[in-house]
Amino acid sequence: MRSSKRLILLLLTLMLIWQSSPTPSFAVESGSNTSEMVQLRILETTDLHASLVNYDYYQTKVDNRIGLVKTATLIKQARREVKNSLLFDNGDHLKGNPLGEYLVRVRGLHKGKIHPVYRAFNYLHYDAITIGNHEFNYGLPFIKDALKGLKMPYVNANVYSVKKQKPFFKPYVILNKEVLDEKGIPHAIKIGVIGFMPTQIMKWDKTNLEGKVFAQPIVDTAKAFIPKMKAEGADLIIALAHTGISNEPYHPDTENAVYYLTKIPGIDAILAGHSHGIFPGPAYSFMPNTNLETGKINMKPVVMAGAFGSRLGMIDLKLKKIAGKWVVLQSSSTTRAIADENGDSLVKTDKTLLKRIKNDHQETVEFIKKLGL
């Protein structure tokens, strides 16, 4: 009987202690994770090669498999589907067809005039772009003049000035964005954007670049700058990687370095390009640690949207703020085509964009006719 009374008194004492004690630490941790989810869509164009219009200048006929005037419709559609989106271009956008050549070799880029590619980028409100290797084909003075017409940041981290021994372009930018969570509540997020291109530019454009700039290895450059971006407060880091996808053994001058970029801590999403491939896609089924269903390599979301505006790349991220930091909980990558396998158009032409660049296109067509081509 005495032992039963002692047991009851012990239980009552424990209950009083528990009620008067602070909330256990696990309850505090649980409460800190109650912020709402944020869906963020990242959109990519890459390797446009001056393909603004759905037109084949070589065969002088309409080609609905190419053209930013078609991709623009996909961009607007993809934006309408979500509350939060960002749009980037991954380089090689100024050179690659008769329009690009005509504007430089014949007409010239007159002072105060905006290159039609950059006029298109301004119209579509790109958030940032990177520079591709073909941007150097017309020489450094040309690209420096052309870039003045942009209304968004342009970045590249691994091309350095010989004279200053510093990055020739701004290596990265941190965008201050307001995003809406699933309940429509706004949140501030800092998004770091960094750009890269192959070191082979020093061979491909030796005449234009030697003695003026030099190129650092892509992966080494990323490892140097990503911690700096984090230290400056970047919540999320997106790599605009004008480089392709391959798992060939790594060396400092690896041309297609995306696979090794995915292994670098701190990079949250990679926009690939340069090799004109489509990722996710069957051409990359051989890649180790690659999930083509979700579009991930080494658990990182990657997208590559072909070339000439034929596709729009898209990475969807699900973010949540945990313990004061934004964390990627889920991700998936895909591309959307502007035409089917037969070349039949899947989307309408963005007439407003076409109107803004039509004169440049028509001038090119007329010049080709004069040449009798």
Q: Which residues of 259-271 are buried (b: 16+ CB within 10 A; e: fewer)?
A: bbbbebebbbbbb
* Residues 43 and 75 sit within 8 Å (Cβ to Cβ): yes
Q: How many domains does the chain have?
A: 1
**Residue 327 falls inside a structural domain:** yes
pLDDT for position 47: 98
Exposed, middle or buried, 80 (CB in 10 Å: 0-12/13-18/19+)? exposed
**Residue 348 falls inside a structural domain:** yes
Positive or negative, the CA dihedral 136, 139, 142, 144 is positive
Q: For residue 185, what are the CA distances in angstroms to 97, 264, 283? A: 45, 32, 41
CATH number for 125: 3.60.21.10
Tokens representing 178 are: 């307001």
Q: What are phi and psi of 179, to 5 degrees?
A: -120, 155
**Residue 7 falls inside a structural domain:** no
**Residue 358 falls inside a structural domain:** yes
β-bridge mates for residue 345, sequence order: 339
pLDDT by 10s per residue, the chain, length 373: 444 445 444 444 444 434 434 433 333 333 334 458 999 999 999 999 999 999 999 999 999 999 999 999 999 999 999 999 999 999 999 999 999 999 888 888 777 789 999 999 999 999 999 999 999 999 999 999 999 999 999 999 999 999 999 999 999 999 999 999 999 999 999 999 999 999 999 999 999 999 999 999 999 999 999 999 999 999 999 999 999 999 999 999 999 999 999 999 999 999 999 999 999 999 999 999 999 999 999 999 999 999 999 999 999 999 999 988 999 999 999 999 999 999 999 999 999 999 999 999 999 999 998 887 6
* Residues 241 and 295 sit within 8 Å (Cβ to Cβ): no
Query: Could you write out the DSSP letters of every residue in 108-158?
Result: ---TTPPPHHHHHHHHHT-SEEE--GGGGTT-HHHHHHHHTT-SS-EE-SS
Residue 367's domain comprises 32-371
pLDDT for position 373: 61
**Residue 194 falls inside a structural domain:** yes
pLDDT for position 112: 72
**Residue 13 falls inside a structural domain:** no
H runs (alpha helix) in the chain: 2-20, 25-31, 68-80, 98-101, 116-124, 140-147, 201-204, 206-209, 218-231, 258-261, 351-371
* Residues 181 and 188 sit within 8 Å (Cβ to Cβ): no
CA–CA separation, 117 and 361 (whole Å)? 11
**Residue 39 falls inside a structural domain:** yes
Q: For residue 371, what are the CA distances in angstroms to 63, 364, 367, 368? A: 21, 11, 6, 5
Q: Please state the pTM of the whole predicted model.
A: 0.90
DSSP letter for 284, please: G
